[in-house]
Amino acid sequence: MKNILVTGGAGYIGSHTVVQLIEKGYTPIIMDDFRNSHQTVIRELEAITHQQIPVISVDICDQQAVTSSLEGIRIEGVIHFAAYKAVGESVLNPLQYYRNNVESLITILDWSVRNQVANFIFSSSCTVYGEAEGIKEVTEETKPGIVRSPYGQTKVIGEQILTDLKKSGAALNILALRYFNPIGAHPSGLIGEFPIGKPNNLLPFITQTAVGIQSELTVFGNDYPTPDGTCIRDYIHVMDIADAHVQGLHFLESTPLRGVEFINIGTGKGTSVLELIQTFEKVSGQSVNWKFGEKRQGDVAEIYANPAKSKQLLNWSTKYTTEDAVRDAWRWELNIRK
C-alpha cells in the first residue's frame, strides 16, 4: 500500500480525502498542527474508516521539523492542502497569509524533491481566475482577471512556484486542482466543515442560522444580472472533490508530465445564493432568517467550471447533487450540536 502524505489532512477537504484514499487502498499520513482544525476529526476519521490513521503534528512551514518527522518513511505521493483560506481574513492579515501559504508550499516541495517523491497534488482554487468579467463558464485557458485578495494571490503564486519548479527539471509529477465552491459533508455526518469563528462560506452560515448560532444571514446584493438577482456559483460536494484527488493520483501514477497540469474541479453548472437557501429549506424543513445587504466588492455575478478536462484526463465527474450536499451538511450540523 502506497503512503500518501496529506498536509492539512485534518481540515475540511483534507479529512474527506483521507477517507477516499483509504477506501481506494492507499495509506494516508496526516500532517497537521491543528491550528485551523480540530483534533477530534482524527477520532471521527478512524470511526468512519475502522482503522488507525498516522498523524504527524508539526508546523509545515518548519523545514527541520518536517524533515525529522518524516525520516525513514517512504512517501509515494503528497497532497498539499495546508493553507489559510478565508478571503476576508487575508485582506486584514496579508502577511500571515503570504507567510503560511507560500512558505508551507516551498517547504513541502523542497522536501518532496530531496526525497524523490513521485507525485504531488496542489490544492488550488478558482480564485486564480479573479474577476473574469463577462465570462461565466471558466476553462483552464480562461484569461485571469484581477485577483484582489491576498488569499487568491497565494494560489496564483503557488501555481507559479510549481510551474517554475517543473521548468527547472524537477522529476516531481505535479497536478494542481482548481476547486470551485466546496459544500456538504461526509454522508455519515461524522466529519464536515467546522468553521473556527463566524463562517466565511455560505452553506455553513445557512445551517448555523437555522440552528440559531447565527441570528441572521445576509445575502450580498439582489440586482446582479442573474435570474433572481443574486450571485451564481458552482457548488460541489466535498466528497466529489475528495474523489478527484484519488483520481488525480491514479492519473499521475500512469502519466509522466512534462509540465504542471491544471484542472478545474466543479460541476459545470451554477446555483444562485437564493436557490441554495431554498434547497436547504426544502431538504431540512427549516426556514432561514435572511435579508438582502449591500454588494461586496469583488464579487462577480456568475462563475462556474467547464469540467471537460477533468473528465478527459482524470476520468472524473461529480456523483452528488446539490441536494445531497445540503442534506449531508445539515446532518453534520445537527450532529455537532447534539
- 94 is in which domain, residue-wise? 3-183+236-266
- pLDDT confidence of 140, banded at 50, 70, 90? very high
- What average pLDDT does this structure show over 63-83? 98
Positions annotated as catalytic residues are 151
The predicted pLDDT at position 48 comes to 98
Give, in order, the Cα–Cα distances in Å from 305 to each of 126, 187, 298, 300.
8, 24, 18, 14
Strand duo 232-233 + 271-272: pairing:
antiparallel
Query: What integer is the mean pLDDT of 82-92?
Result: 91
Query: Which CATH number does the domain housing residue 34 bear?
Result: 3.40.50.720
The model's confidence at residue 338, banded by pLDDT at 50, 70 and 90, is confident
Model confidence over 156-212: pLDDT tens digits?
A: 999 999 999 999 999 999 999 999 999 999 999 999 999 878 898 999 999 999 999
Q: What is the pLDDT of residues 44-64, one digit of tens each?
A: 999 999 999 999 999 999 999
Which segments within 8-139 are labelled E, that is strand?
27-31, 55-56, 77-80, 119-125, 137-138
pLDDT at 133: 66
Is residue 90 domain-resident?
Answer: yes
Query: What integer is the mean pLDDT of 297-306?
Result: 88
pLDDT tens digits, one per residue of 253-295: 999 999 999 999 999 999 999 999 999 999 999 999 999 999 9
Lowest mean pLDDT among 277-286, 290-299, 303-312, 325-334: 290-299
**Would 117 be classed as within a structural domain?**
yes
- CB burial of 182-209 (b: ≥16 within 10 Å; e: otherwise) equals bbbbbeebbbbbbeeeebebbbbbbbbb
pLDDT at residue 242 tops 90: yes
Q: Is residue 13 part of a domain?
A: yes
φ, ψ for residue 90 (rounded to 5)?
Answer: -65, -30
Question: What mean pLDDT do residues 307-313 have?
Answer: 98
User: What average pLDDT does the segment 70-96 reach?
Assistant: 95
- Taking 90 as the threshold, does the pLDDT of residue 215 lie above it? yes
Q: With beta carbons less than 8 A apart as the criterion, state whether 86 and 265 touch.
A: no
Q: Is residue 161 part of a domain?
A: yes
**Does some domain include residue 223?**
no
63 inside domain: yes
SS3 112: helix
* Percent of the chain predicted with pLDDT > 70: 100
> How many domains, in total, are found in the chain?
1
pLDDT of amino acid 88: 84
Average pLDDT, the chain: 96
Residue 128 lies inside a defined structural domain of this protein:
yes
Could you tell me if residue 176 is inside a domain? Answer: yes
